[in-house]
Chains A and B, each alone.
Chain A
Amino acid sequence: MFAPEIVIAAVINGLLTGAVYALVSVALTLVYGVLHIINFAHGAILTAAMFAAFFAEQAGVDPLIAVFGLAPLFFVLGYGAQRYIIGPASHGEDSNTLLVTLGLSILIENALLAAFGSDTRTIDVPYGFSTVDLGFVFLPAPRVIAFAVTCVTATLLWALLKKTDTGKAIRAVAKEKLGAALVGIDVAHVYAVTFGLGAACLAIAACVLLPSYYVQPRVGDAYVFVAFTVVVLGGMGSAPGAMIGGLFIGVVESLSGLYFGESLGQLGIFVIFILALLVRPTGLFGARA
């Protein structure tokens, strides 16, 4: 057995990691909830955003500053990708949409591979090895920042969805496409806005990940596997489910790392995934079947 402080420290560390999982998962579940497709380009977009943040840092802009440019930029790119590529190419068939996003992910990953090679790159930020002292545990500053940024992003996203007409239109289209069209909501526009919001969330995740992580052309995949587990656990299409699921998975990973050894940290994630599918396939916050 471990001393309670060590377990509590592991839980807090798990929450910090889980916040980034939550952010990546919210983006995935938001797009699923509205467009009813799993976006296979999700990991590739995250990777592309991490490269963008990497080169911004090389140009002298800290990722935490670059995020204010990259989030809007990725919103526009995501909007354009859905409105002018994925939407028209899928002709209203969900299966086509899946294939188009898969194609897009292959394209993005290989373009990054061709341009930058498969080297692993890291950045050095002044706060990279700073810590936050809680008295019984030192927390790495970049991950505390990541946690805080995720909380702010989630709050903004919640306010957007609950309080603005655009957010209400997104929720309307998610559940009742024809009804939405008949009150004059432009469904293709809402799809693109949703996809853009997903991409913007990934850009934010990229900017807070980079100071404590590395980037190479397939880095996004690791996060998307976890995000998929989180989305299933939280309930497909449920944003609160993805938030809580992300934090939970972070803690599970941290604790199984503590008890079974660091290299087996991911074991807990997949056990949870299988349990979720067996016991509660609709997820914690999923819609009634």
Chain B
Amino acid sequence: MAPPNGSPRGTWRMAEALLSVRGLVAGYGETEVLRGVDLEVGPGEIVAVLGSNGVGKTTLNKTLSGVIRAAAGEIYFGGQRIDHLAPPAIVAAGLIHVPEARRIFPDMSVRENLELGSYRRGKAERAANIEKVFDTFPRLRERRAQLAGTLSGGEQQMLAIGRGLMGQPRLLILDEPSLGLSPLLVEEMFALIVHLNAEGMTILLVEQNVMQSLAIATRAHVLENGRFALSGRGEDLARDPELEKTYLGM
């Protein structure tokens, strides 16, 4: 795979990539969903993976976080090979996946949800990190004693991201963070991602919301039928006539 040419930061080489995926094949039983994905994420980047429903975005995330075992290919994180590791070890290494549909703990309080975010990693800094999350999401501070299942959709998404931040991620995977949010909240969500990135967080953003994702992504890939059909810098892809064709499958 060619080095990620023209990365705006342009300060890292392949060897320094935080996440490096080569020839990844994965799926469910006999069904192959990913058919050879190559992906690099460098420190400080926002890399977007775009695609419509059912092209394998969530499968990619679940394979990276160890929930699904890769059938072939290699995944390196921080120089360590992780494709044979179980989720606890991958979380311990600092690769944190905020899943689609939030997957918060509905009958536990907001605070308990956040505490569990540091179950495997960041336990020593738990109290300080909860304060940081509350500073980022003042709504969560107001609702800290409330059961997570009674929060609104937007608040649940904040909680899911806050819980992810509690694990002190070196790489944060956000799976469809804007799904099901009102247009105003979608704006806020993308502003938040930019804010987190500006503070130094490396982010792998997996989204259906193409234009807004491209606007903030350092680099982006369009996933189609288990492979990357298009790759490039966010701003270039946004202008690429191929994008519409590929994305809409025309």
Contact = CB atoms under 8 A, between A and B. Distances in A.
Contact of B91 (A169, A175, A178, A182): A182
Contact of A182 (B65, B92, B107): B65
Nearest to B100: A178
Interface in B43-70: 65, 67
A176 B106 contact: yes
Nearest to B91: A184
A172 B102 CA distance: 14
A179 interface: yes
A171 B167 contact: no
Contacts of A171: 105, 107-108
> Interface range on chain B: under 10, 10 to 19, 20 to 34, or 35 or more?
20 to 34
B108 A172 contact: yes
A172 B106 CA distance: 9
Contact of A178 (B67, B86, B117): B67
Interface string A166-184: 0011011001101111111
A165 interface: yes
A262 interface: no
A181 B108 contact: no
A9 interface: no
A182 B105 contact: no
Contacts of B65: 182
B116 A172 contact: yes
A171 B112 CA distance: 10
B18 interface: no
A185 interface: yes
Contact of A186 (B86, B102, B115, B117): B86
Main secondary structure of the interface of A (DSSP, over half): helix
B108 A184 contact: no
Contacts of A181: 67, 87-88
A175 B92 CA distance: 22
A182 B105 CA distance: 12
Given A165-B115, A184-B91, A184-B92, A179 B108 contact: no
A182 B104 contact: no
Given A183-B167, A186-B86, A178 B119 contact: no
Interface in B73-98: 86-88, 90-92, 96-98
Contacts of A165: 115-116, 119, 123
Contacts of A182: 65, 67, 87, 91, 96-99, 103
A183 B90 CA distance: 10
Contacts of A178: 67, 99, 103
Contact of B88 (A172, A175, A179, A185): A185
B141 interface: no
A29 to B, nearest CB: 15
The 3 A-B residue pairs whose C-beta atoms are closest, nearest first, are A184-B120, A184-B91, A179-B103
11 contacts: A165-B116, A165-B119, A165-B123, A168-B108, A168-B116, A171-B107, A179-B102, A183-B117, A183-B120, A183-B167, A186-B88
